[in-house]
Chains A and B, each alone.
Chain A
Amino acid sequence: MSSSPSLVTELPAEALQGSAGLRPRRRRAVTSRGHGPTAGAFLLPNLVLVAVFLLLPLVWAFWLSMQKIGSLGPSQFLGINNYVDIIRDSVFWEALWNTALFTLLTVPVGMAVGLGMAILLNGVLPGRKLIRSIIFLPLVISGVSSGLIGAWMFDQYSGFVNNFLHALGINGPDWQSNGKWAMVSLVLVTLWIRVGFDMIIYLAGLQGVDPEYHDAAMVDGASAWQRFRAITLPLLGPSTFFLLIMNLIYSFQVFDTVYAMTNGGPNYSTTTLVTYAYKVGFDEHGSGELGYAAAIGVVIYLITLVITALNWRLSRNRDLAS
């Protein structure tokens, strides 16, 4: 067993190979024959599941988004009226802004902190493995539990955070009744959940950084910061790219933590697009308009698509530049 293990769960192939961001374009020599039928057998179960339960609903969602569907079932064709309503819907825009804000606050901060932790724990330290595991632990606890822990710790009247601040002589903020602070508490809990993941991926990336580079740079008299900028960071490119996609998608789709912790409140301060879609379509206190919820869902999907496409473009350009 190697002495510097890293708990990697999912990695871009490049990180494993430690290459500098060049995605391996495997032009494997075409073997003597294709494996069409065999491949079909291998792929079929997965393809069927995905086709029936992901792709079909996706196409169907577009169709449903053009209807008025009450929570008791009767439906009526509307054309694009749901989308017209979305554009006029101030709550939608608020939810969109909240989602963007939440993503902007959680993703870069989480990745920076995760990188810091990875660098810190990449060297030799007593109890290093244990500390890594502790940092990783929140990730295995459900978003629901984490949300409930957050709701309790940030309770504005009796929660730990305000009691702690009070002990320091600070009057704690109104975490539940003030929208801005509610968002802050949600971001903090999300960071607590996510930094472990960021750290793990970066740790794996750091395994691929050859110490010899650093030794050479040290001989050249480069400072630690210069070495970090010139060697470590570029070599971590693939990890960063991978994390960026994973984190953007995660933050964009976060639901359980919000539902358990703030349920979108106060007002709509912590209502994200996905919680809004759920509220409109399925929630007790929503309007029970499934067609409108489907339309919001379609918008969510399109935005996710754009983010991912942009990411790909950026990474390709980076490849070409290097």
Chain B
Amino acid sequence: MDLSRRGFLAGSAGAATLLGLSACTSVHSNSGTTDATVKASGSTGAKSSLGPQTGQLTFAFWGGSTGETAGFNYVKQKFEAANPGAKITLKVVPYDGFFAGIDRGIQAGNAPDIFRVDYTTMGKYSSAGALMDLTQYFSSSDIDAFLPALWDAIKYQNIPFGVPHQTDCTAIVYDKDAFASAGITSVPDSLANAWSWDEFSQVATKLRSALPASKFPFAYDWTKAGAYRWLSFLYQAGGSLLTPDLKKSALPSAAGTKALDFTKSFFTNKWVPASNTIKGAKYSDEFFLGKTVPMTFIGDFLVPEIADPKSGYKGNWGVTFMPKDTAAATDLGGNAIVANKATKNPDLAAAFLKFIVSEDSMKYFCEQAIELPTLKSLASSSLSYATAPDAVKVFAQQATTLSQTITTETSVPAFSKINTLLQDQLELAFNGQATAKTLQAIADGVNTSIGS
């Protein structure tokens, strides 16, 4: 797999909103982020080789799979062994509400020293000046070890504010027997022959007629903060969310209309359960596990859950690619690990961050959690995944459909606000709001939050 791509234009992300004094009265609560202008602390790599550290750190992450927990525990133990006198306290927090808790902690001054943050939310914290600047801890050779697109995803105004820990992307998991009994004989086995939208629609139609009214052909993983995954359809249709200079919304567009009409038809055709909306309580993997759907779109980090011999999927399952239209696309999933600017032990925090993304730690983590690495050295070697290695191959191939546009747009500072907006507007659209109105509302909201 090859994730390497030219780094995108430095400094183009997150144009700061210039709020002149005279403009004060036109400021509203929902208008663009008042970005802190940041200046690098120290010179690049000044502290790139740290000796053993002592002290205490809390590291908060949301409860993922058992594989992830095992991966983080491994890092903790190894790090503590390498740094006698250092103690890392792991705090597992439920995903729902994780960032609300971090926000309150940052305001109250008791946030964890280290926490996990996805690339889509990263910009919110880096642009608010809440994260520790890592400039002096990474030499240029350290930086070169990462896939450039992902190193860029953790930068704000060209300063690194975290380490790219892993990536994941969405593909399709399906029940082979259900497909057979619905008369679907062939399933794409390579990116090149992934379903077109039309072929995908035929598959869904076949499933629909083969299934009882209480079951549905598939579920999509756009629940709650997954709303941005709707953009995969926009990219597949050849559209984009923002203009190339990232300063304005590129919606409404023909591609936007096409993508939204297509996804709205999932509901009108009863292809997805009525409660598989953005604000539904169930995630797409749960519909699949509960056998409400024989096919679901999920991120690779959920493969261990599906493959779990005890509580996993009861049935014969396989993995295939996202459908494609004029282009193939998936979403940039995955997480960075960042340090809180207010941490009392910056050197220790930096040492721990570096340790998390060292080759051995990352390899173990990704193998356990079925996720994709961010180091060039690991990307080119093949990892020995703990579960379902064949499934991971599909995800790894699917990850090559992450275009530069997708990576850059997903990591603009305002993206978490845009994601909230997408949640609200897509929910309305799936409940009947007109396509044109929705696209316009998204565009207006995007422009407001980018601050143009």
Contacts and interface: CB of A to CB of B under 8 A. Distances in A.
A287 B128 contact: no
Contacts, number: 96
Nearest to B214: A157
B103 A71 contact: yes
Interface string A241-257: 00000000000000000
Contacts of A288: 100, 103
B106 A177 contact: no
B277 A177 contact: yes
A285 B224 contact: yes
A284 B96 contact: yes
Contacts of B29: 68, 78, 81-82, 85, 287, 289, 291-292
A73 B34 contact: no
Contacts of B224: 284-285
26 contacts: A68-B31, A70-B34, A71-B100, A71-B103, A72-B106, A72-B130, A74-B128, A76-B19, A78-B28, A79-B25, A81-B25, A82-B29, A85-B29, A91-B424, A177-B274, A263-B279, A265-B280, A266-B280, A266-B431, A284-B100, A285-B224, A285-B225, A285-B420, A286-B420, A287-B420, A292-B30
Interface string B14-46: 000001000011011111011010000000000
A218 to B, nearest CB: 57
A123 B224 CA distance: 53
Interface of B: 19, 24-25, 27-31, 33-34, 36, 96-100, 103-104, 106-107, 124-125, 128, 130, 214, 224-225, 274-275, 277, 279-281, 292, 417, 420, 423-424, 427-428, 431
Nearest to A280: B29
Interface in A140-154: none
A286 B103 CA distance: 12
A176 interface: yes
B128 A72 contact: yes
A215 interface: no
Interface of A: 68, 70-74, 76-79, 81-82, 84-85, 91, 156-157, 174, 176-177, 263, 265-267, 282-289, 291-292
Most buried by B among A85, A174, A263, A288: A288
B28 A81 contact: yes
A76 B125 CA distance: 18
A28 B34 CA distance: 61
Given A267-B427, A284-B99, A81 B107 contact: no
A283 B31 CA distance: 19
A102 B227 CA distance: 29
A266 B423 CA distance: 12
Nearest to B279: A265
B303 to A, nearest CB: 25
Contacts of B280: 176, 265-266
A291 B29 CA distance: 7
Which 10 A-B residue pairings sit nearest by Cβ, starting from the closest? A292-B29, A71-B103, A177-B274, A72-B128, A289-B29, A284-B100, A284-B97, A265-B279, A73-B107, A68-B29
Contact of B428 (A267, A289, A292): A267
Contact of B103 (A72, A82, A263, A285): A72
Contacts of A78: 27-29
A287 B30 contact: yes
B30 A81 contact: no
Contact of B27 (A71, A81, A263, A286): A81
Given A81-B25, A177-B275, 10 more contacts: A68-B29, A74-B34, A74-B128, A78-B27, A78-B28, A267-B427, A284-B100, A284-B225, A289-B29, A291-B29
A284 B24 CA distance: 28
A5 B6 CA distance: 81
Given A70-B34, A85-B29, A285-B224, A266 B277 contact: yes
Contacts of B107: 71-73
Contacts of B423: 285
A265 B279 CA distance: 7
B99 A282 contact: no
A182 B274 CA distance: 14
B37 to A, nearest CB: 13
Given A78-B28, A267-B427, A287 B417 contact: yes
B28 A82 contact: yes
Nearest to B127: A72
A78 B24 CA distance: 7
Nearest to A295: B29
Contacts of A266: 277, 279-280, 427, 431
B277 A73 contact: no
Contacts of A283: 97, 100
Contact of A267 (B36, B130, B275, B279): B279
A286 B125 CA distance: 16
Contacts of A157: 214, 292
A70 B128 contact: yes
B299 to A, nearest CB: 18
A282 B107 CA distance: 12
A284 B98 contact: yes
A258 to B, nearest CB: 14
A81 B23 CA distance: 13
